[in-house]
Structure 1
Amino acid sequence: MQTAKSQITRRKLLDAARKEFARHGIAGARVDRIAAASSVNKQRLYANFTNKEGLFSAVISDAYEDLTRQVPVPDTLEAARRYVGDIFDYHAKDRTLAHLIAWEGLYYGGQDFPDREARAAYYRDKCGTLNEALGRIGLTETAHLVLTLIAIATWPYVAEQQRALLAPEGEGSVSLRETLMRQGRAVVEATVAQAAQPQQSRPTAVESA
């Protein structure tokens, strides 16, 4: 059981490490800088997290927990329609999670990474709930829908240079958020409508190309 002091120490390390990893990635992050920024010595860091990879795993898990508290995976059709806007707003306020996701992908690729099964179980549970809310369109379709909505909302903050080039702030009367919200809603409606069609009447990949 952690003491209040140890919880404070862990929080300081997680907060400092989140900024360091978001800026430099796993390979480029430096334990010395994290220790200095948190005012916690390296021995305590290693005692809490074993190594740098263990610290990154704890940081990104903590970041996902924060995202889940503020923007839960949708469990109703209306929440699914709003999801892109909610995720976009979260990243607009704090870009660090989007950067952590990008660094994690570059470092681990599609291979095993720490806490993979715990994260997979979380999404299986949430996608199961959303699948029910959408009229049982299918777990695979629901998972693909969630992935698509996350991609629409998050990519502008993963590739900030593309956002700056394609959607510079202050240009035009329609905001990027409005556009992405509209596109997100369209994806939700199309997915639900497609799932409602009888199997034999659904277009094949060739027909829909």
Structure 2
Amino acid sequence: MTGDAQATKKRLLDAATREFATYGIAGARVDRIAASAGSNKAQIYHYFQSKDGLFDAVFNAIVANTVRDVPIDATDLPGYAGRLFDSYEAHPEVTRLATWHRLERADSQAPLESILASNRHKIDEIARAQRDGLLPTRYAPVDLLALIVHLAALWTATTPEYATLVVTHSRAHRRTIVTDAVAALLKP
């Protein structure tokens, strides 16, 4: 029975990820999520309490997966940015969900602890590397992390109109721009 419950929750999370990435929190419909997952709305409310609870679960899973799959290496921040870029390219739904989160949750919800914890850890790693003399101190750790994260997401966060201007840029070229830009930030 536990395996069935876990499988159902996974199907619901997968369906919700697609739905929220496409329609945002306000536009997502639990009936579509349930149908896509081969489940029913009652199970969504049973497992996640609400549509907002389901979104939180989706976002927490994305944070956990990103932290697991792309751990920070404060001694190689250009490499870290490149791996983040790779992750965003492989999972465009992450950028879309983050955008919906910023648009629909910025002023109305308490911050998700998974995001706060992840950011604290990364900031601590950067601060430690700065104290150890492995990174320049030109930028505060929190600012350096923000620059890295946003540079890594640069190409997935541009408007479609801008994307047409760089259509000839290969994925490898876009990645190199990201890693080179982060390396430039670290020059004394």
Q: What is aligned with 1:147? A: 146
Q: What is aligned with 1:116? A: 112
**1:132 counterpart = 2:128:** yes
User: What SS does the corresponding residue of 1:40 show, helix, strand or coil?
Assistant: coil
Residues 58-100 of structure 1: per-residue CA shift (max 9 Å, x gap): 10110111111111133x322x121221111111111001000
Q: What is aligned with 1:196? A: none
Partner amino acid, structure 1, of 2:41: K
Partner amino acid, structure 2, of 1:124: R
**Normalised by the size of structure 1, how large is the TM-score?**
0.79
Structure 1 residue runs of 4 or more that deviate by more than 4 Å after TM superposition: none
Q: CA deviation at 1:171?
A: 4.8
Q: CA deviation at 1:129?
A: 2.1
- Of 99, 102, 107, 1:102 maps to 99
Q: What is aligned with 2:173? A: 175
**Structure 2: tracts of 5 or more residues without a match:** none
- Give me the whole-angstrom Cα distance separating, in 1, the residues matched to 2:141 and 2:44: 39
User: What SS does the corresponding residue of 1:77 show, helix, strand or coil?
Assistant: coil
- Of 81, 85, 91, 1:84 maps to 81
RMSD after superposition? 2.2
- Give me the whole-angstrom Cα distance separating, in 2, the residues matched to 1:112 and 1:130: 30
Mark the CA change 1:114 to 1:46 in structure 2 (over 3 Å): closer, same or farther.
farther
User: What SS does the corresponding residue of 2:153 show, helix, strand or coil?
Assistant: helix
Q: What is aligned with 1:156? A: 155
- Give me the whole-angstrom Cα distance separating, in 1, the residues matched to 2:161 and 2:110: 30
Any conservation in 1 of the 2:155–2:174 contact (CA below 8 Å)? no
Q: Could you say which structure has the larger radius of gyration?
A: 1
How many residues were matched structurally?
183
Any conservation in 2 of the 1:73–1:126 contact (CA below 8 Å)? yes
Any conservation in 2 of the 1:57–1:114 contact (CA below 8 Å)? no
Mark the CA change 1:99 to 1:36 in structure 2 (over 3 Å): closer, same or farther.
same
Q: CA deviation at 1:112?
A: 5.2
Partner amino acid, structure 2, of 1:182: D
Q: CA deviation at 1:134?
A: 3.0
- Using the aligned pairs only, state the percent identity: 30
Q: What is aligned with 1:63? A: 62
**Structure 1: tracts of 5 or more residues without a match:** 194-209
